[in-house]
Amino acid sequence: MIERLAILGVGLIGGSLARALRGADAVGEVVGCGRSLPNLERAVELGVIDRFTQSPGDAVAGADMVFVAVPLGAMKGVFSAIRDRLEPGAVVTDGGSVKGSVVADALSAFEAVPPRLVPGHPIAGTECSGVEASFAELYENRRVILTPLPETDPDALARVTAMWETCGAEVTRMSVAHHDEVLAATSHLPHMLAFGLVDALARMRENDEIFRYAAGGFRDFTRIASSSPVMWRDICLANREALSAMLARFGIEMTDLAESIRRADGDRLLEIFERAKAARDRYVDSAR
């Protein structure tokens, strides 16, 4: 049970956590914090938070659990703002999509990474933003990756694990670096391809016509290109190295594919498509 939960960044990720914990009757009071009043007022109206403040320091006062769910570029500022206002036993965790940068930001804001800070990342989301987009079921049957450090307090880790399990999530652990590599492959690279494809088409002369003839598959394929540009700029900057490596790997794959098309190598194309289809079908089966 959480007595007082502070949500810093009451958007899709923060709002959904508050809703899920409330739904499970696992939290006493929820205090929200953000920059813009309309989003915070709406969060109160929707019953996602009980009250709000625009000061991160005030938000964490008296809180036993603090969840930081701002874009990655805002993490360091939030950490600095709360560092001297945390309750002694308070547990701090976050939902940032990259973990290396969050740990680095904590290191620079707190001087040493606090033992009661548990870096985390729910593998769940939609392309929508803001509290309006949040919903209690977002984390049900989804994975949450926690990336504790050697110095992380086991009790803090257990509390964060229990919090996510209360939301219906399955909690796993991995190292910070491994998390950032895996997510570069499964999430960050696909977003780059979707943004890149839509942008390439949007810049073509006949772009209106092109979009008019896009079929159903295109809608699904490009859904993630409707995600928040600020959030994704921050993710790219925060996970530069792993993402660059994945982009290079993908570039090699596409060069091979383009070459096979150019020289009309049907056998090679079939081989690539069959391997991809088998992997995708296996993934979908196992994700059921």
CA distance 146 to 94: 9
Should residue 269 be labelled a site residue for a copy of itself when binding is judged by CB under 8 A? Answer: yes
CB atoms within 10 A of CB 96: 27
Q: Classify residue 34 by burial, with Cβ atoms within 10 Å: 0-12, 13-18, 19+.
A: buried
Should residue 72 be labelled a site residue for ligand NAP when binding is judged by CB under 6 A? Answer: yes
Q: Which partner in ligand NAP, a copy of itself, none is near 97 (CB below 5 to 8 A by kind)?
A: ligand NAP
Q: Which stretch binds ligand NAP (CB under 6 A): 108-116, 122-130, 163-171, 251-259?
A: 122-130
Q: Which partner in a copy of itself, ligand NAP, none is near 72 (CB below 5 to 8 A by kind)?
A: ligand NAP
Residue choice 79, 139, 164, 232 for contact with a copy of itself (CB under 8 A):
232
| Reduced 3-state DSSP string for 104-143 | HHHHHHHCCCCCCEECEEEECCCCCCCHHHCCCCCCCCCE
CA distance 72 to 102: 7
CB atoms within 10 A of CB 283: 10
Residue choice 211, 228, 260, 265 for contact with ligand NAP (CB under 6 A):
228
Q: Which partner in ligand NAP, a copy of itself, none is near 254 (CB below 5 to 8 A by kind)?
A: a copy of itself
Should residue 130 be labelled a site residue for ligand NAP when binding is judged by CB under 6 A? Answer: yes
Q: Decide if 109 contacts 89 (C-beta within 8 A).
A: no
Should residue 246 be labelled a site residue for ligand NAP when binding is judged by CB under 6 A? Answer: no
Q: Which stretch binds a copy of itself (CB under 8 A): 21-29, 85-93, 158-166, 262-270?
A: 262-270
Residue choice 103, 118, 124, 136 for contact with a copy of itself (CB under 8 A):
124
CA distance 175 to 149: 8
C-beta of 125 vs 148, nearer to ligand NAP: 125
CA angle (213, 189, 278) in 5-degree steps: 75
Residue choice 69, 106, 167, 192 for contact with ligand NAP (CB under 6 A):
69
CA distance 66 to 86: 9
In the complex, which residues of this chain contact ligand NAP (CB under 6 A)? Answer: 9-14, 34-36, 39, 69-72, 74, 78, 95-97, 121-122, 125, 129-130, 228, 231, 235
